[in-house]
């Protein structure tokens, strides 16, 4: 069964860091672009970053560029998001999401349950 499971969220002070992880199962992980999408409390969805199956192509939203780093370990079927210099406005549920048909632009067909990041002093 295809599955994405995020972990690593928590409560952190402004300026702090976290490493979010996503464990994939049930499909050939290295064949797929993977995305991080976030949703602030009571707000809409916001694309954060995507990474190609090889890990060589990476893009970030302007709102996180220079502070967040996406990576993947295909041997471990895992996706990561290192989030640094956190701000109150980064508070959100962070979803790990698979690109449909392996690409980032057709849509996103498989979503994890999300991990919550709360930035507060």
Partner 1 sequence: QSALTQPASVSGSPGQSITISCTGNDSDVGSYNLVSWYQQYPGKAPKFMIYEVSKRPSGVSNRFSGSKSGNTASLTISGLQAEDEANYYCCSYAGTITSLLFGGGTKLTVL
Q: How far is the CB of 35 from partner 1 (least distance, A)?
A: 7
Euclidean distance between CA atoms 7 and 1, whole angstroms: 19
Which helix (H) or strand (E) covers residue 5, if one does?
A: strand 3-7
**Is 53 a binder of partner 1 (CB under 8 A)?**
no
Shortest distance (Å) from residue 87 CB to partner 1: 19
Residue among 16, 30, 40, 47 that touches partner 1 (CB under 8 A): 47
Cβ 16 to partner 1 shortest distance, Å: 26
Using rule CB under 8 A, residue 2 touches partner 1: no
Please give the radius of gyration of the chain, using alpha carbons only, rounded to the nearest integer.
13
Indicate which single residue of 18, 22, 29, 50 sits in contact with partner 1 (rule: CB under 8 A). 50
Q: How many CB atoms lie within 10 A of CB 83?
A: 25
Question: Which range binds partner 1 by CB under 8 A, 24-32, 38-46, 69-77, 84-92?
Answer: 38-46
Query: Which residues does 112 contact at the CB level (< 8 Å), separation at least 6?
Result: 4, 5, 6, 22, 95, 96, 97
Please select the residue that binds partner 1; options are 81, 104, 115, 117, rule is CB under 8 A: 104
Residue reference for tokens 């002093």 = 121
61 binds partner 1 (CB under 8 A): yes
Task: Give me the numbers of helices (H) and strands (E) for the chain, helices first please.
Answer: 0, 11
């Amino acid at each position: 069964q295809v599955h994405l499971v995020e972990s690593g969220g928590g409560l952190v002070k402004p300026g702090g860091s976290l490493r979010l992880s996503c464990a994939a199962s049930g499909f050939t992980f290295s064949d797929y672009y993977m995305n991080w999408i976030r949703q602030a409390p009571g707000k809409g969805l916001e694309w954060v970053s995507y990474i190609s199956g090889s890990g060589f192509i990476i893009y970030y939203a302007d709102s996180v560029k220079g502070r967040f780093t996406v990576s993947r370990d295909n041997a471990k079927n895992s996706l990561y998001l290192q989030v640094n210099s956190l701000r109150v406005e980064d508070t959100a549920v962070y979803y790990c999401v698979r690109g449909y048909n392996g690409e980032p632009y057709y849509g996103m067909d498989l979503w994890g349950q999300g991990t919550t990041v709360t930035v507060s002093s």
